[in-house]
A = this chain, B = another copy of it.
Amino acid sequence: MIAPDLRLLLISNSTVFGGTYLGHVLPVIKTFLSGTSSILFVPYALKDHDGYAARARSAFESIGVELSSIHQASDPVAAVEAAEALFVGGGNTWRLLKAIQDRSLIEPVRRRVRGGMPYIGSSAGSNVSAPTIKTTNDMPIVMPASFEAFHLIPFQINPHFLDPDPNSRHMGETREERLVQYLEENDVPVAGLREGAWIRVTGGQAWLEGTTGARIFRRGSEPSERVPQDSLADLF
């Protein structure tokens, strides 16, 4: 059962190969945000907040949405309370989550999004929409107080999901092997979102969209494939 008010757009990656920043999803974002004229940006996943906010502002302005960045707000919690919509950008998931926790934003964001505020996440911003960041690909460059994140959805996301390369001579674990290890320790399903894929949750429904599909991992089952336009309601 998906709450009819829940509005999420969870994007695997902000830039596809050869594309521009958010270029492959701007039409979708425009539709998703219809009726919304402004958005609050969370730039904490990258070190250069000003530069990151400028890049995001330029993309959103091109679809007629005014963007302000939370790092320029004197009171970040108040900024969340006042926001029309939220966009959490990609980068390093650990740096992002620690900054969110340090500013006591978990509860306010969760409450606002559960109350119907549209949430857009890309890459690390999609990771933090899950119960925990235990399925991030990122290097743990800083230690957050806990691995618990916004928990806007009841399953995990692995963004930038990568199929094994049959020609690789590299002996590090494949992405699938890493996710199987995750399921050895945790009984929560994972959606491996390939680059170019995203999840849209609106009107009490959840859809896989984009061009590349997703691979679903559940404890005790073989991984299964989903193709664009498949429902993901069974993960809720």
Interface residues of A (CB under 8 A from B): 13, 15-18, 47, 91-92, 95, 133-143, 146-147, 160, 162, 169-173, 178-179, 181-182, 184-186, 195
Contact = CB atoms under 8 A, between A and B. Distances in A.
Copies per complex of this chain: 2
Contacts of A141: 134, 181-182, 184-186
Main secondary structure of the interface of A (DSSP, over half): loop
Given A95-B185, A142-B185, 8 more contacts: A13-B171, A15-B171, A16-B171, A47-B184, A139-B181, A160-B170, A170-B195, A172-B195
A131 B139 CA distance: 15
A170 B133 CA distance: 21
Nearest to A185: B141
Nearest to A13: B171
B169 A13 contact: no
